[in-house]
Amino acid sequence: EDQVTQSPEALRLQEGESSSLNCSYTVSGLRGLFWYRQDPGKGPEFLFTLYSAGEEKEKERLKATLTKKESFLHITAPKPEDSATYLCAVQVDQAGTALIFGKGTTLSVSS
């Protein structure tokens, strides 16, 4: 069964304290891995798409990386406005365009 696991479930950081979120996956055939950010009461906001092992994408304080078994979302010098739930999702060969989501990591950054 295709599965996505995110860790930790929750993470509290001080402003400026860098850290990483993990997304491990067990799938039959990966078509793409996606990172989203979700604020309370809102829909997920797209961050990155990664397609192959070794690929990296960056946007402001965020950097996403991909290996054959997991992806990391690195947050450098976070600010309070980075507080949100970060969701990882995969598309697999046998499931068409359906996204399989992890449960998310809720990040709180305090000043």
Does 103 help bind another protein (rule: CB under 8 A)? Answer: yes
Q: Which of 1, 14, 42, 68 binds another protein (CB under 8 A)?
A: 42
Interacting residue with another protein among 19, 22, 24, 49 (CB under 8 A): 49
Binding mask 1-40 for another protein (x = CB under 8 A): ------------------------------xx-x-x----
Phi/psi of residue 90, nearest 5 degrees: -125, 150
**What are the residues whose beta carbons fall under 8 Å from the beta carbon of 62, sequence distance 6 or more?**
47, 48, 73, 74, 75, 76
Q: How far is CA 55 from CA 1, 8, 65, 88, 109, in A?
A: 25, 23, 6, 16, 27
Q: Which residues bind another protein (CB under 8 A)?
A: 31-32, 34, 36, 41-46, 49, 51, 87, 89, 91, 95-104
